[in-house]
Amino acid sequence: MQSLKAVIGMAATLALTTPVLAQEVNVYSSRHYDSDNALYEEFTDKTGISVNRIEADADELIARLTAEGANSPADVFITVDVGRMARAEEAGVLQPFTSDVIKTRVPAHLRHPDDLWFGLSQRTRIIFYAKDRVETPPQTYEELAEPKWQGKVCIRSSSNVYNQSLLASIIDADGVDAAKTWAAGVVGNMARPPQGGDTDQLRGLVSGECDVAVANNYYFLRGFDGDVDGLTSGIEGIGWVWPNQDGRGAHVNLAVAAMIAAAPHPEEATALLEFLTGEFAQTQFARDNHEYPVVDGMAGDEGTARLGAFKPDTTTNTSAFSRNAAEAQAIFNQVGWN
């Protein structure tokens, strides 16, 4: 029989060699969807690791992370757009991390080339149009700048990160000069000064203020889910186009996740990040917010099925959205896109 001294010595050795998980992970998130609660509850049920979440605007969270520095309690940062994550990257609050699970599941073009972040879910930017007023809608983003659409386009402001990422992708695909020409053309075609969110652009089609609008797919699909004021009543009169199907494909943006540079619980953070690419989480993103999974082979929901199949842009690495973000904003400023 082992002596008490030997048992104590063995226990001490195990304590030094076996990592003890803190059983908690701290998340700063700019996703404001109640449906995400189910994700964290499932993760806790599966792992025993509790999730402490702080929600706020992405820029507020980045400012907080910057102020906290090495003393930040945050482990994971989640935001709804690559452009916002680029600001966190520039602030130096992220760290690269390697996960074979994530690399296997998430395609390379939806991951940062230096492993600073990866996509959780995909959102598509679609061209919508009024069926009763438009017989031949634009088939590409570039066509939105053509003179025949003068005074007919509703689109959000240049401060909107969705538009910033769209222009950043055009810079990557067509070059700076072509992107500037495009942005100037869209400004000349606006039916009204930019105002409101994506839903307001769709409302413009229903009200007759514009004939063509640009919005993310899920804003449109929400109009079928319930009574969205100014949209649901006229939604059957709205058609849609998957842009650039004969070229690079439709622009896809991402909800994005990353590990914080000062993460006090990196093992737990990795466990959560890998969980978010699993079947439960990917299905949840699709079912509850009409987003598209980032993992190949996982289906969307009935809402996204309504929109039909499309060719996404897989040639542009989404890191271009952050790399070209400053150039995109400069172009918006130059052409007077408010």
Is residue 218 annotated as involved in ligand binding?
yes
Say if residues 130 and 216 touch (Cβ distance below 8 Å): no
Q: How far is CA 230 from CA 181, 205, 207, 233, in A?
A: 33, 10, 8, 7
Return the number of other C-beta atoms located less than 10 Å from residue 219's C-beta: 20
Give, for 31, the enclosing helix (H) or strand (E): none
- Pick the closest to residue 155 from 188, 106, 181, 179 (CA basis): 188
Distance CA 212, CA 201 (A): 9
Question: Parallel, antiparallel, or unpaired for β 153-154 and 212-216?
Answer: parallel
- DSSP strand pairing (50-55 vs 24-29): parallel
28 carries a ligand binding annotation: no
**Token match 């000069």: residue?**
177
Q: Find out whether 263 and 24 touch, Cβ atoms under 8 Å.
A: no
- Burial label, 33 (beta-carbon count in 10 A; 0-12, 13-18, 19+): middle
Place of tokens 């804003």: 219
Phi-psi region of 104 (alpha: psi -120 to 50; beta: other; left: phi over 0): alpha
Rounded CA-CA distance 30/33 in Å is 9
Both structure tokens of 176: 């700076």
Q: Is 141 annotated as a binding residue?
A: no
Residues of the binding site: 32, 218-219
Residues of the binding site for Fe cation: 32, 218-219
